[in-house]
Amino acid sequence: RALYRLRFRPDSTVAAPSEIFLPRLHYGRGIEVELSAGTWSYEPEAQLLSLRLEEGLARSVEAAGGSVR
C-alpha cells in the first residue's frame, strides 16, 4: 500500500490548483484522499491529484492507494 503525506502553506499569489503526480505503479488501484481544508480531484489518465486550497494556514494532504504489482 502506497502512502503520500504532505504538509504545506498555500501561496496566495498562485491562483492555479496545486498538482501532485501519483504514479499508476503505486496508486493504480485507486486512491483515498484526506485533505485538511479545500477540495480535490484526481485524473487517473494524467495520474494527477489536483488541490484547490484557501490561502493562509498550513494544510495537509494524505493520499493512500494500492499498488498494481
Residue 27, SS3 per DSSP? helix
Q: What is the pLDDT of residue 6?
A: 86
Q: Tell me, what amino acid is at 67?
A: S
Cα 41 from Cα 44, distance rounded (Å): 10
pLDDT in 10s for each residue of the chain, 69 residues: 788 888 888 887 888 898 999 998 888 888 889 888 888 999 999 999 999 887 666 778 888 887 655
Q: What is the pLDDT of residue 42?
A: 93
Q: Pick from 46, 5, 44: which is nearest to 28 by CA?
A: 44
Q: What is the pLDDT of residue 20?
A: 92
**Residue 24 near residue 69, CB atoms below 8 Å:** no
